[in-house]
Structure 1
Amino acid sequence: MDISTVIMMLLIGVFGGFISGLVGIGGAIIIYPAILLLPPLFGVPPYSAYIASGLTSSQVFFSTLSGSLKARKKTEFSPPLVIYMSGGMITGSMLGAFLANLFNAAFVNTIYIIIALLALILMFIKVESRSGEPAFNKPLLVIIGLFVGIISGIVGAGGAFIIIPILLVLFKLPMNMVVANSIVIAFISSIGAFIIKLIQGYIPLEDALFLIIGSIIFAPLGLKLSKKIPNFIQKWIISILIIVAIIQLIF
């Protein structure tokens, strides 16, 4: 592996890990297009959509693992929310990882853009957060988790970029609770996709290593900083990342 690839993967991993901790996502919303689009700028041969998806799944798995170790200690952490939604997501993500082989690269990119647009629309819907201890519709959590898991498995993402708007709008949870739980949900749901794509040979280990190193170091730092950032700023950061990713993939 040449030094250009090492530097590129480290930078992508650092940014993805930091963002995953800061706003409770796995970083896939920006990592996937970055892996597709940045290699030529570093003089590195481009990756296929399948390899980019595999590398993204490895980054999501390790960055959310790193962030989850911190998040589960927060008072906002809710085991029922995590168990039911991630239970549906891990099943869906494994199914999605298998289904990804049936689609071409253009279709995978299209799915990614459609889901990102949906997440963006949800981010701008204003709802009042519920006060007090939230009660969850457990079957609904499982069903939504299954659907999001299938989509995230196809793309190689943890699915947190769509989990966050759903928890904010549909379940009316406060932002601090969403961030604390979404990164743990994203970690659990990423397990299936990561294992399947590793078995399928879509994760070049040398490339993934430096991506992972950057992620696991900076995810806890992002999570620590998230406590000091107002909710509306976190929402705008997520929205901007989604917009940037959509523009990159379209153009």
Structure 2
Amino acid sequence: MNVLEIAGLSASICVGISLGLIGGGGSILTLPILVYLLHINPVTSSAYSLFVVGTTSLVGAITYMRQRQVDYRVALVFSVPSFVAVYVSRHFLLPAIPETLGAVGPLVLTRNGLIMVLFSLLMLGASLSMIRDGGHTGRVGRTKGLKLPLIGAEGALVGLLTGLVGAGGGFLIIPVLVLLARLPMKMAVGTSLLIIAVKSLLGFTGDLRHVAIDWPFLLCFTLLSVTGIFIGTYLSRYVSGSRLKKSFGYFVMLLGVYILLREVS
């Protein structure tokens, strides 16, 4: 193993720590680690990201389920359209995108480049959400009379983005659960982890026919990430989630700008 490979595998622990601490950020870290440190192409990396984030989120969701911090009704309303959008985008839409999309002057737009540009834009949007809502803790509310169609529409949009770039979408899901579903923050995190887990793993099944999977590597990376979620869950007892979320938002913003400049230069 070279230095970058060791750094990439070590960084996989940070994926789980992020999910354990603030209920999101796993895919935002996973894809750059796989692409830039481990030099795996973006299409394969997006598939790996779905498996890593899905499995790690499932482990975290089980912990919240035991604490009765998951709202299954809201999860169902959000998840069903999201699941459909993920499966359709991974199984049909992404394979239909040609390797080379065209050229603008000296800049050649490829499918891999498009994925990374979309991902960087998603990172910038997520970072603004984290910075703006970092201190929002949500409030307890009943699910009766909620804007269920709007929650479902948001689920479909997040599912489409998940399918295209391999992102679990935690930082897109949590604001919806807090602001529209009126869930308290801890329950929003638990519900988000369950949604991310099922949605990501379902999306991954759409890749099994199109992507060659290096299972020993993927399972090793995932195991380290799962280790990280236990660390993150433990640290969450002592670290201010709102302050951490805002600080992480600024980090994600810088990383998103870096990826965007790298891909368009």
Regarding TM over 0.5, the answer is yes
Q: How does 1:190-201 map to 2 (within 5 A)?
A: 190-201=200-211
216-225 or 117-126, larger mean C-alpha shift:
117-126
Q: How far 1:214 moved relative to its partner?
A: 0.3
**Is residue 120–residue 257 contact of structure 2 (8 Å, CA) maintained in 1?**
no
Q: Which of residues 198, 202, 218 is equivalent to 1:188?
A: 198
Residues of 2 paired with 1:224 and 1:231: CA distance?
12
2: CA distance between counterparts of 1:73 and 1:238? 28
Q: In 1, are the aligned partners of 2:79 and 2:199 still within 8 Å (CA)?
A: yes
Instruction: Quote the Cα distance in structure 1 between the aligned partners of 2:124 and 2:212.
Output: 26
How many equivalent residue pairs? 244
1:220 aligns with 2:230: yes
2:147 aligned to which of 137, 146, 156: 137
Q: Give the SS at the match of 1:129.
A: coil
> After superposition, where does 1:115-134 map in structure 2 within 5 Å?
115-125=122-132, 129-134=138-143
What is the aligned counterpart of 1:58 among 51, 54, 76? Answer: 51
| 1:240 alignment partner, SS class | helix
Match of 1:85 in 2: 78
How large is the RMSD of aligned CA atoms in angstroms? Answer: 2.5
1:185-237 residue CA offsets vs partner (Å, 9 max, x unmatched): 11011122111123322432232121111012221331233243334224214
Matched, 1:102 2:111: no
Give the direction of change, closer, same or farther, for the CA distance of 1:113–1:10 in structure 2 (3 Å limit). Answer: closer
Contact 2:90–2:164 (CA<8 Å) still a contact in 1? yes
Moved more, 225-234 or 179-188: 225-234
**Structure 2 unmatched ranges of 5 or more:** 98-110
Task: Report the Cα distance in structure 1 between the residues aligned to 2:212 and 2:167, rounded to whole angstroms.
Answer: 14
Q: Which of the two has higher C-alpha Rg?
A: 2
CA distance in 2, matches of 1:61, 1:36: 18
Alpha carbons of structure 1 residues 202 and 20: separation in structure 2 relative to 1, 3 Å: farther
2:119 maps to 1:112 = yes
Counterpart in the other structure of 2:240: 230
Of the candidates 249, 253, 262, which is equivalent to residue 239 of structure 1? 249
SS of 1:157's equivalent? coil
Q: Percent identity?
A: 23
Q: Which residue matches 1:43?
A: none
Residue 55 of structure 1 deviates from its aligned partner by 1.6
SS at match of 2:11: helix
Distance, in Å, in 2 between the alignment partners of 1:9 and 1:213 is 13
SS at match of 2:24: coil
TM-score (norm 1): 0.85
